[in-house]
Amino acid sequence: MKKRKNAGRNTAAPLLTGRRRGAGIPLVLHAVVIIIVGLAAYSNTFHNSFHFDDIPSIVENADMRNIRDLRTVFGYESRRAFGMFTFALNYHVNGLDVVGYHVVNVAVHLGASLCAWWLTLLLLTTPVMRLDPISGHRRAIAFAVGFLFVAHPVQIQAVTYIVQRLASLATMFYLASLCLFVKGRLTERTWVRVVCFSVSAAAALLGMFTKEIVFTLPLAILLVEVAFFQTGGIRGLTRNRALRVILPMVVIFLFVIPCFMLLRYHGRLMSVLFRAIPSQRPGDPPLTSWVYLFTQFRVVLTYIRLVFLPVGQNLDHDFPASRSFFEPFSTAVSFVVLAAVLGWGIWMLFRKRAVGFGVLWFFLTLSVESSFKPIRNVIFEHRLYLPMFGAGFAAATSVYYWLWGKHTRIAMAVFLAAAVTLPVLTWRRNAVWKDEITLNTDIIAKSPHKARAYLNRGGEYLRRGDLSRALADIEKGLSLDPDNPEGLNNYAIVLYKLGRRDEALVYFERSVERSPRDLKPRYNYGNALMEMGSFREAFEQYEYLVTYVAKTDPDAYALAGKAAARMGDYDTAMKRLNRALELDPDNEDACFYLGNIMQERGELLAAVEYFRKSLQANPGKVEAYTNCGATLYMLGRVDEAIDLLRRAVVINPNYTDAHNTLGLILYEQGELNEAAEQFVMVLRRQPGHQTASKYLALIEQKRKEAAVQ
């Protein structure tokens, strides 16, 4: 009987009925279909705007501007240096054109999806799985896993949200590293194994410098080894095999990663891991390790619901923190459910290994962001990107274990429903990400008590010049979060533009008090004070920037120099402006303001030189054309002066100073008709302009005198 039983097992393995039925479909066709589905699902994302963290990390991040300055690029966020380098590379090629960024994000997503497909194929051909009849369906299962990974709408936030490339890119390296590890374990050729393991290690290293989720990779390799290479499960790890396979991973996990963390945080590791931080959600308690952990029980259950029922997706969930294990009561219930699912996954590892592996993968890869290390935002859907491979693997293999053969039609119906529904849901959800208005409107509909969406939508209305809507949204946001620095800053800008300048100054001051080291509020506060003639107060704001916040920002020094010059303190102004030029020799504002000072001091040749340098940096700066033209006229170079001023009024026909200066010069040259045209242009824009009115009257008088003669 034993002999017949063994014989039956041997004959079951090579039957591989699914493989034979699918043998006529080349594997490359599966890959092509996954790519086509991914491109179709994300075809409407390439012109979607920057959102949320894209603004500080990419749009306003000066450290990303010079691809050759690798120290600055890598230093911006050194623990994610490679991921940030890809944004710098995008900026070098595309500037701030979003299309290039989305092309890279979608390409990374397709690469990660193909890695998920390939890894599934490899895992289902390992020694353990060859003894399982499910191996005969490995092509179909791998296609299903790849399809779920590329088309599932829960993946959107890691793909369409540009800055979350960090999650998708790290996942691509993670899966690629595992693919190469498994390939190396399966091969018998020594040189192929060496190459696979070497490239696998390189991919792991790149992933670790992209996002911290890759730090679970050694444990994932151990899980793969136990689930797919040891016939006896954990007991099957012989001592020699453990030394050869696990010891290198233990060295990586117990030495390299802690060393990396210690170097990164310089002795602050324990405080970083266990300190309490304020929640992003106003009204929540500080997020201690325990509060965050208890909250994650409910969060992970929400993640599981989103995997199987992807409705109600939201970039900014209104998710209150759990104050204790029993508050709210759903915290304890969630813990019991998760413990049951995790226990079932461990139990399945010894019975249906593929299913158990998928469940344990899901929990393992979530552990970095859903355990005890507090993060201000307790829930974000992009954190599901890597765990989705485990969820898809468990789901696809479960269908074949329990439905295929006995309930084949049901299995086919499940797959067809997913194939039709998921890409459509993804495409429709991507449309919500079109711009800041559509995205934040969606958030407000689902999280009406979250301030951030109101403030972000109000900020976008402000950028578009729709002040009434901006005012309404920002007031609503501040009613929910009264101390939000960015909201206070934008509210002050709206008030200033509406002519309520005294109120605006109050909110600018509140904004800089709430966030003293934030650049934008202090810049805006200083600029408002400058326009209102409060030069000394403006100088104090700029001086704070160059002293404490922006010591290497040439624009801050240029503005400080401008304010000092308006105060009449030319010595201080020269120091600040020259410092700006030391930091940025082509800084247009520093050159322009130095030109003004030289003009005031009567050093006209030097003034012309600085104005010309300003124009080289910015050929469209009409102020520089105007002031340079006036200076050239003082030097007696009339034709050059008139030429520059005529260019100024062409570039910006609404700039009255250029029209007025050109009119004065033409009047002095006796070109009365053309001078009158310039003064008329001034009066159209500023009806009470005294100089233009005076000279038009003089021109009219001269015309009458000429007519009498």
User: Could you tell me the mean pLDDT of each successive run of 10 residues in the chain, 709 residues long?
Assistant: 39 37 70 96 95 90 81 79 92 93 97 97 90 87 95 96 96 96 89 91 92 90 86 50 52 55 52 70 86 94 95 93 90 95 92 93 94 90 96 92 77 84 95 95 95 95 95 96 93 95 94 88 92 92 87 88 91 92 90 92 92 91 92 92 92 92 91 90 89 88 76
Count CB-CB contacts under 10 A for residue 548. 11
Count CB-CB contacts under 10 A for residue 201. 15
Alpha-carbon gap, residue 24 to 569, rounded angstroms: 83
pLDDT of residue 433: 96
Q: Are 344 and 336 in contact (CB under 8 A)?
A: no
Alpha-carbon gap, residue 409 to 389, rounded angstroms: 25
CA angle 82, 83, 87 (to 5 degrees): 110
pLDDT of residue 232: 55
pLDDT of residue 272: 52
pLDDT of residue 606: 93
Q: Are 212 and 196 in contact (CB under 8 A)?
A: no
pLDDT of residue 168: 97
Alpha-carbon gap, residue 687 to 698, rounded angstroms: 17
Q: Are 535 and 567 in contact (CB under 8 A)?
A: yes
What are φ and ψ of residue 683, in 5° steps?
Answer: -70, -25
DSSP single-letter state for residue 46: T
Alpha-carbon gap, residue 616 to 421, rounded angstroms: 55
With left for phi above 0 and alpha for psi between -120 and 50, is residue 52 left, alpha or beta?
A: left
Alpha-carbon gap, residue 303 to 298, rounded angstroms: 9
pLDDT of residue 9: 38
